[in-house]
């Protein structure tokens, strides 16, 4: 938007636009907000998704009306809390799987502190072993484990993804070189319609199962 014309009303509109908050989505409940801030402050390894990507995940969950969500690679629960906030609105549930036992314990404590224990279940262990033990199908899958495993996780989960469901994957821009096979699948799979967005430079793919 170019704010150059010296017309009073237009200048006022420009001023209001410039003063508008950067985020247009609804505010985060205070308890969850405090937990999200604390996780970020402690995240020295920068495992968690960016705040922008977290907000985008919540938006996707709400706009899809997702009810049965799965996250692969939960770390300390940052993205699980964003997804959980969306599921709080849709009445859905999330299972998040984390390999590292200490991180899984952290995630559980953080989910509880965020007031989302009734929405988010943390499973500790290897997702390759845990997913076959989970019941039913999923309508929203968020993949954020080790990047070289993306294609194998896709093959494991795709048969359990509902038609019309979303398969969402993180780091498809900044770590694209580690997941060439998966990105080729997104490009060429006949039952996928995909888009890639990059709210904070890491890249999020969103694939609809047809």
Q: Of residues 51, 67, 128, 202, which one binds ligand SAM by CB under 6 A?
A: 128
CA distances from 40 to 27, 172, 209 (A): 18, 21, 32
Q: Of residues 14, 47, 113, 156, which one binds ligand SAM by CB under 6 A?
A: 47
Two tokens, residue 200 = 């904070």
Smallest gap from residue 170 Cβ to ligand SAM (A): 7
Q: Of residues 144, 150, 165, 166, which one binds ligand SAM by CB under 6 A?
A: 144
Centroid of chain to Cα 22: 19
Please report whether residue 49 would count as binding ligand SAM according to CB under 6 A. Answer: yes
Q: Of residues 60, 70, 83, 97, which one binds ligand SAM by CB under 6 A?
A: 97
Please report whether residue 57 would count as binding ligand SAM according to CB under 6 A. Answer: no
Please report whether residue 150 would count as binding ligand SAM according to CB under 6 A. Answer: no
Strand order in the sheet with 204-209: 120-124, 93-98, 68-72, 138-143, 161-170, 204-209, 192-197
Please, what is the Cα angle at 199 between 167 and 71, to 5 degrees? 30
Strands (E), the chain: 68-72, 93-98, 120-124, 138-143, 161-170, 192-197, 204-209
Q: For residues 139 and 153, which CB has a smaller minimum distance to ligand SAM in the complex?
A: 153
Q: How far apart are CA 7 and CA 206, in angstroms?
A: 42
Smallest gap from residue 37 Cβ to ligand SAM (A): 13
Q: At what angle do helices 30-42 and 101-113 cross, to 10 degrees?
A: 150
Smallest gap from residue 35 Cβ to ligand SAM (A): 12
Q: Of residues 36, 48, 85, 157, which one binds ligand SAM by CB under 6 A?
A: 48
Query: Where do contacts with ligand SAM occur on this chain (CB under 6 A)?
Result: 47-49, 73-75, 78-79, 97-100, 103, 126-128, 144-146
């Amino acid at each position: 938007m170019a704010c150059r014309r010296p017309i009073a009303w237009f200048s006022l509109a420009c001023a209001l636009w410039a003063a508008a908050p950067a985020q247009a989505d609804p505010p985060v409940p205070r308890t969850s907000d405090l937990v999200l801030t604390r996780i970020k402050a402690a995240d020295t390894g920068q495992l968690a998704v960016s705040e922008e990507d977290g907000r985008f995940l919540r938006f996707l969950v709400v706009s899809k009306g997702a009810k049965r969500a799965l996250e692969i690679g939960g770390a300390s629960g940052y993205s699980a809390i964003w997804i959980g906030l969306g599921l709080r609105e849709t009445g859905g549930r999330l299972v998040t799987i984390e390999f590292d036992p200490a991180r899984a314990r952290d995630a559980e404590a953080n989910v509880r502190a965020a007031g989302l224990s009734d929405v988010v279940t943390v499973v500790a262990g290897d997702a390759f072993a845990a997913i076959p033990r989970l019941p039913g199908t999923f309508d929203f899958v968020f993949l954020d484990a080790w990047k070289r495993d993306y294609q194998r996780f896709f093959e494991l989960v795709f048969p359990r993804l509902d038609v019309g469901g979303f398969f969402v994957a993180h780091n498809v821009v900044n770590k694209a070189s580690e997941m060439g096979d998966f990105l080729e699948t997104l490009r060429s799979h006949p039952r996928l319609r995909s888009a890639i967005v990059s709210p904070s430079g890491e890249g999020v793919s969103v694939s609809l199962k047809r």
